[in-house]
Structure 1
């Protein structure tokens, strides 16, 4: 795939960001070393999930710490500052406005790929993006989605290293870990230090 003017679009809750997220970014750059940039886009509220308890400011700090060592990788705060549910179509349309001429490559996990045809205006999303990059979260093989068959030429399956981590599980685990000062293996030192400093994700939250 020609990566000229390619912009990766990697969204999610990132509450908190973990090493599994970092492996996705690493895989993107391994596959597209000449891409223009990778945008990390934390959402404020996912249509599929409950409202966050973690403040937008803290999530932005954590995400910046997690991805700061990757080249040409930026945190875009448009979604998290909107304070409304984040629909991918709206984000893509906004990105096309602010990055004219860019070829947008949307990164999603294999679980979201299986359900992609249930997303709001999913066909319009695939019409607008240059490619759909599917990364592995927990399975060695990527499930197929026959509903996306007509877009198969736009779909690329990444072979990123799988890190057994999920933000929802980390949020449940962190209060006890903080009390015991035991860093979860899925968190980077930088992210862990910020969590401890801010006393976020503790029992007091």
Structure 2
């Protein structure tokens, strides 16, 4: 795929951001070095999940530190500032309002890919974006989603390294890690230092 002019869009809770997220960003740039930029889009709360306990400002600080070393990668805080559930279609439409001719490439994990046909107005999302980039989370072989077969020419699979990390699992164990002053292997040193200092997950 010709990556010239592409704007990558990588959304999620990033609560907290971890090395698995960093690997996905690394893989994006390895595969699409000519892309214009990659937007990191933290949400306020996913429609599928409960409200966050971590403040928006704390998450934005951690996300900035996690990704500041990547070129042409910036944080877009539109979703997290809205303080309500985030729907991908709204995000895509907002981006296209500000940059009407943008070639948006939406990054999603294999688990979201298998359920993509259940997302709100999923067909309109696929009709509006340039491509859907699917990254590996659990296995090296991702089964095709038959419900998306008409959009097969828009779907690409990243050959990223699988990093065993999940924000949900980290939130469940971080209180103990902070008490023990023991950094979880899935966190970068920079993110861990801020979490220890602010005791965001204690």
Give TM class, smaller chain: over 0.9
Tell me how far apart the structure 1 counterparts of residues 52 and 192 of structure 2 sit (CA, whole Å).
19
1:138 — aligned with what?
A: 138
Give the superposition deviation at 1:99: 2.2
1:34 — aligned with what?
A: 34
Give the superposition deviation at 1:56: 0.1
Tell me how far apart the structure 1 counterparts of residues 176 and 26 of structure 2 sit (CA, whole Å).
30
1:127 — aligned with what?
A: 127
Contact 1:47–1:86 (CA under 8 A) maintained in structure 2: yes
Deviations 1:102-154 (A, max 9, x none): 10000000000000000000000000000000001111211210000000000
RMSD of the TM alignment (CA)? Answer: 0.6
1:19 — aligned with what?
A: 19
Tell me how far apart the structure 2 counterparts of residues 91 and 143 of structure 1 sit (CA, whole Å).
27
SS of equivalent to 1:100: coil
2:46 — aligned with what?
A: 46
User: Which segment is superposed worse, 136-145 or 30-39?
Assistant: 136-145
Tell me how far apart the structure 1 counterparts of residues 15 and 179 of structure 2 sit (CA, whole Å).
19
Moved over 6 A (4+): none
TM-score w.r.t. the length of structure 2 is 0.99
SS of equivalent to 2:106: strand
Tell me how far apart the structure 2 counterparts of residues 163 and 139 of structure 1 sit (CA, whole Å).
11
Contact 1:5–1:101 (CA under 8 A) maintained in structure 2: no
Tell me how far apart the structure 2 counterparts of residues 143 and 18 of structure 1 sit (CA, whole Å).
26
**Structure 2 runs not aligned, ≥5 long:** none
Q: Number of aligned residue pairs: give it.
A: 202
Q: Which residues in structure 2 correspond to 1:153-172 (within 5 Å)?
A: 153-172=153-172
1:75 — aligned with what?
A: 75
